[in-house]
């Protein structure tokens, strides 16, 4: 598919759903890990996305959500200056984002490529991912078989999938993981895989 080529609805719908799941998980997880308010993160990311789309005329299909790159500095700022100091830092980072956006709109992205070539960006992204390995380990400990089944499904689809299937591994992984968890919970209800915060079985509530 080429840039600016219209996306058929049959592809657009699953890709959109996958993007929502990926966006929502990241946007909620970052404030949870840093101790910030989740509602504030959702509101500001939504507002920022609307402003971004208005400025770009909807030409860039992007969502401005929480970034895992800021987890360490936010935690450090919260410990030293409190939540108010961390939020002030986020506000300043947003202003820097606006300034850089204005510069790029004037001079293009060439200078970004010079300062941040792939050989620099790659290790940074890898470091962010490895830094979250501990969180993944702790969360997967709730029920390791479900976590491993979901992970293997995503990796297998990404590697062996063809056509449309190959580009929606996250969506298919989520669906497969839930189906697996439902089957396990039906066979072993004592595991409590579908309990709410009050310890009540969601199926009993429904």
Which residue has 């840093």 as its token pair? Answer: 34
Whether residue 86 is found in the same domain as residue 27? yes
The helix/strand/coil state of 194 is coil
Whether residue 82 is found in the same domain as residue 148? no
Q: Which of 85, 108, 131 is the last residue of a domain?
A: 108
pLDDT in the model for residue 206: 39
Whether residue 37 is found in the same domain as residue 97? yes
Q: How many CB atoms lie within 10 A of CB 40?
A: 13
In the structure encoding, which two tokens stand for residue 199, read together? 């310890």
Q: Residues for the chain: how many in total?
A: 206
In a domain, 100, yes or no: yes
pLDDT in the model for residue 156: 94
Whether residue 78 is found in the same domain as residue 155? no
In a domain, 132, yes or no: no
Q: Which of 108, 131, 153 is the last residue of a domain?
A: 108
Whether residue 18 is found in the same domain as residue 100? yes
State which residues of the chain have pLDDT below 50: 197, 205-206
In a domain, 123, yes or no: no
Query: How many C-alpha atoms does 177 have within 13 Å on its Cβ side?
Result: 22
Whether residue 152 is found in the same domain as residue 73? no
Whether residue 97 is found in the same domain as residue 31? yes
State the residue range of the domain holding 69. 1-108
Separation between Cα atoms, residue 86 and residue 92, nearest integer Å = 10
In the structure encoding, which two tokens stand for residue 138, read together? 């702790």
Q: Which of 50, 82, 108 is the last residue of a domain?
A: 108
pLDDT in the model for residue 196: 52
In a domain, 133, yes or no: no
Do residues 1 and 36 lie in contact, with contact meaning Cβ atoms separated by under 8 Å? no
- Domain count for the chain: 2
Whether residue 5 is found in the same domain as residue 100? yes
The helix/strand/coil state of 206 is coil
pTM: 0.69
pLDDT in the model for residue 205: 42
């Amino acid at each position: 598919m080429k840039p600016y080529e219209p996306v058929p609805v049959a592809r657009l719908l699953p890709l959109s759903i996958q993007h929502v799941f990926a966006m929502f998980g990241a946007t909620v997880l970052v404030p949870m890990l840093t101790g910030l308010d989740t509602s504030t993160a959702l509101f500001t990311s939504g507002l920022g996305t609307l402003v971004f789309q208005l400025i770009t005329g909807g030409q860039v299909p992007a969502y401005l959500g929480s970034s895992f790159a800021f987890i360490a500095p936010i935690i450090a700022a919260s410990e030293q200056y409190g939540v108010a100091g961390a939020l002030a830092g986020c506000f300043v980072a947003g202003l820097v984002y606006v300034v850089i956006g204005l510069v790029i709109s004037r001079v293009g992205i060439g200078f970004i490529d010079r300062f941040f070539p792939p050989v620099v960006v790659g290790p940074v992204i890898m470091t962010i991912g490895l830094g979250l390995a501990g969180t993944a380990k702790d969360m997967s400990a709730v029920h390791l078989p479900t976590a491993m089944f979901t992970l293997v499904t995503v990796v297998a689809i990404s590697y062996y999938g063809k056509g449309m299937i190959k580009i929606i591994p996250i969506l298919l992984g989520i669906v497969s993981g839930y189906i697996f968890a439902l089957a396990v919970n039906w066979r072993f209800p004592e595991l409590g895989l579908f309990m709410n915060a009050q310890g009540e079985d969601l199926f009993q509530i429904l």
